[in-house]
Chains A and B, each alone.
Chain A
């Protein structure tokens, strides 16, 4: 009866087939990224569910209410209860929709933001895909998100979703430009498209004419200090890009009923919901990486990591020091990201909504010229100081 555990124990201690396969895998260059994919790929949906909870509790805090407080401590598991509800709801596909696109749209809502998160460095070694053109890849993937809204609105074959979808398409494409241009200024300063380089650049102090200034400059090295205008434009465009309030035209509840997802129900609706929050996480993560020094904290992250490394157990199959360092770095990263996400929530429950034409005017007449001017200014600055 107990042959199997014994067998397993023997093989492992023997360094039998199982162990050798295992070792080969661990030593291969796939093991670590796959582990990361597993961890990060699960962390994000989990983060989304807690973000929904945070949004509801946060709004309640702002509005003198209690918010969800029944499921689990402080209502923490409310999102899972909601998810259960969504799963058991009838999945209605109205007769008048274009079925293929109708079913495709919710999937497109979720996949691009999750993929985009693969390019973001969560720590020195915590990165799923270290692509040389990381920022481009990130933008390329995350801008696919617009298709979900467009197709969702179009395929629904109904008037309110159509208006929502059309608005969203115009809005997201317009703001994508301002977003890209302000990110371009960052890349100019960092001199690299690789996101890891952008992060490291924000941690090594100011370099003027090839000379690094004193240690104090490390504290002023985040791009949000060096690129204040760019950071503001990026953040505003980021709000618009994710259809967040005050730019939530596509769904503008009071005008368009529920906008592009009016005709969706059950899990398909939940996917739109998930996608929206995942997109929010992408923008926050990108802002953290580009402007808030990513996983760095004025060199403190290395001091801590060194201390941990000195007291960590010897490296075995698992390099504990590396794991702890990774957790530490991504802890710093996610703290910054979560702080930013709170700003998203805070703004949503404070401001009224733009009108569609005002939103387009803001995008094209204000943000785009501003970001272009800032790009030119950055180019001059980089030219002089380098």
Chain B
């Protein structure tokens, strides 16, 4: 059912795409054999504003070229103008499925430049929040994935559980979605009463809920298995060559988790397993995410059980705001408050890359400070952006229906990808 296309000499789109077209399909396109299908940027299963230009031979994909940038907001430049703490709310809008993880990653990237070590309680709370974010992001990833493959009900079930996470975030930060919870050198506020116990109950319950509401419906479902197994296979070496991280990399059998490899926030003190796949197909990535939710729940339980007391931010008031009560009564604290708010945290010049294991993969912050309250350069390595690079490879020779299964299994967020 190929539709004839006119000769492409004057088609600016194709010239723009030519260098990155993987299989040289455009050359063959001139005899009018393939049909170009424009998927997105507003398509039900491109999860935001991803556009993919597909060359189709019937239902089979000859080549696929992702077209990014519809959600570009110039975040890195914004960071240079706004300064450290004021930039943190912007990170909420990156991987907006786990905003709190981005907050923490950003703050830690900035702290890493001159080795600010946050107190143990702050670290433990950051771990709990990060893992809650991971559960929330993976739940949505699974739900949207299942919905794309046609199991609509799973989406509602996972969303029901995400609501609970939202409620926790609301109790903790006052915002359900864009939480802006961390500050450079600590967190915004301490845990409310009963919060830890409620989160612990949730963390104990969630593995069973996942088993009953998601796995029972999908894992051994013949249609689900047929749709995913052998689809979007990413071999080990290809995954490494493309720089994949997160579940996409681990699904291909590479045991690489920054929480294990380069522990931060005291992750070396928690017991958890890193699930890896064997084949590297969409099904393996699905299983990895399921298991990661359970492991995150394990970490949360451990973190809450040994939650230390103490301050939630560094004592150095040149970095973190002093207590409001003291600001109103003491001169020195008032000056600190004034300087941190107007000038930003006082960070000496330096540069450092910090990689953080976000739900989607390695969220890296390269921060270059110049001694002022604003970074000279703040570069973000967005896992979704790098993971999407595998799309042309995965899409080749796939069916049209596989596109949604593959995209769902890659589980990307355009907010982070386009930044």
* Partner-B contacts on A (CB < 8 A): 59, 62-65, 159-160, 162-163, 166-167, 245-246, 248-249, 252-257, 349-358
Contacts and interface: CB of A to CB of B under 8 A. Distances in A.
Contacts of B221: 351-352
B223 A246 contact: yes
Contacts of B38: 159
Nearest to B147: A254
Given A62-B153, A65-B156, A352-B223, A253 B399 contact: no
B175 interface: no
Given A63-B156, A252-B150, A350-B217, A355 B45 contact: no
Interface in B135-191: 146-153, 156-157, 160
A356 B399 contact: yes
A351 B227 contact: no
A276 to B, nearest CB: 16
B44 A254 contact: yes
A254 B59 CA distance: 15
Contacts of A356: 59, 399-401
A159 B157 contact: no
Contact of A255 (B1, B3, B157, B401): B401
A350 B146 CA distance: 11
B43 interface: yes
B403 interface: yes
A352 B227 contact: yes
A245 B151 CA distance: 10
A248 B401 CA distance: 12
Given A163-B59, A254-B149, A352 B156 contact: no
A350 to B, nearest CB: 6
B402 A355 contact: yes
B199 interface: no
A66 B120 CA distance: 44
B43 A257 contact: yes
B218 A257 contact: no
A239 to B, nearest CB: 12
Contacts of B44: 253-254, 257
Best-buried of B3, B399, B403 by chain A (most CB within 10 Å)? B399
25 contacts: A59-B152, A59-B153, A63-B156, A63-B157, A159-B35, A163-B400, A167-B59, A246-B223, A252-B150, A254-B150, A254-B404, A255-B403, A349-B153, A350-B151, A350-B153, A351-B150, A351-B151, A351-B223, A352-B146, A352-B150, A353-B149, A354-B226, A356-B401, A357-B399, A358-B227
Contacts of A257: 43-44
Best-buried of A159, A257, A350, A357 by chain B (most CB within 10 Å)? A159
Given A252-B401, A356-B59, A162 B156 contact: no
Contacts of A162: 1, 3
Interface in B38-62: 38, 43-45, 59
Contacts of B256: none
Contacts of A59: 152-153
Contacts, number: 88
B37 interface: yes
A105 to B, nearest CB: 18
Interface size, B (range): 20 to 34
Given A245-B150, A252-B150, A253-B44, A355 B35 contact: no
B264 interface: no
Contacts of A353: 149-151, 223, 227, 401
Nearest to B59: A356
Q: Lowest 8 CB-CB distances: which A-B pairs, in order?
A: A353-B150, A63-B156, A254-B45, A352-B151, A254-B148, A352-B150, A355-B401, A352-B149
Nearest to A353: B150
B219 to A, nearest CB: 12
Given A352-B151, A355-B399, A355-B401, 11 more contacts: A159-B35, A160-B37, A163-B59, A245-B150, A252-B150, A253-B44, A254-B148, A255-B404, A353-B227, A353-B401, A356-B59
B70 interface: no
B267 interface: no
B224 interface: yes
Interface string B374-415: 000000000000000000000000011111100000000000
Nearest to B60: A357
A349 B156 CA distance: 11
Best-buried of B150, B156, B224, B402 by chain A (most CB within 10 Å)? B150
Interface in B1-59: 1, 3, 35, 37-38, 43-45, 59
B152 A349 contact: yes
Contacts of A253: 44
Nearest to A165: B1
Contacts of B226: 354-355, 358
A32 to B, nearest CB: 44
B153 to A, nearest CB: 5
A314 to B, nearest CB: 55
A341 B244 CA distance: 46
A68 B38 CA distance: 35
A63 B159 CA distance: 10
Best-buried of B59, B157, B218, B403 by chain A (most CB within 10 Å)? B59
Nearest to A60: B156
A159 B43 CA distance: 13
Contacts of B402: 355
B149 to A, nearest CB: 5
Interface string B75-101: 000000000000000000000000000
A63 B143 CA distance: 12
A257 B44 CA distance: 6
Nearest to A249: B401
B305 to A, nearest CB: 31
A159 B153 CA distance: 29
Given A166-B1, A349-B152, A353-B150, A64 B157 contact: yes
Interface string B233-263: 0000000000000000000000000000000
A294 B45 CA distance: 42
Given A162-B1, A245-B150, A254-B147, A354 B157 contact: no
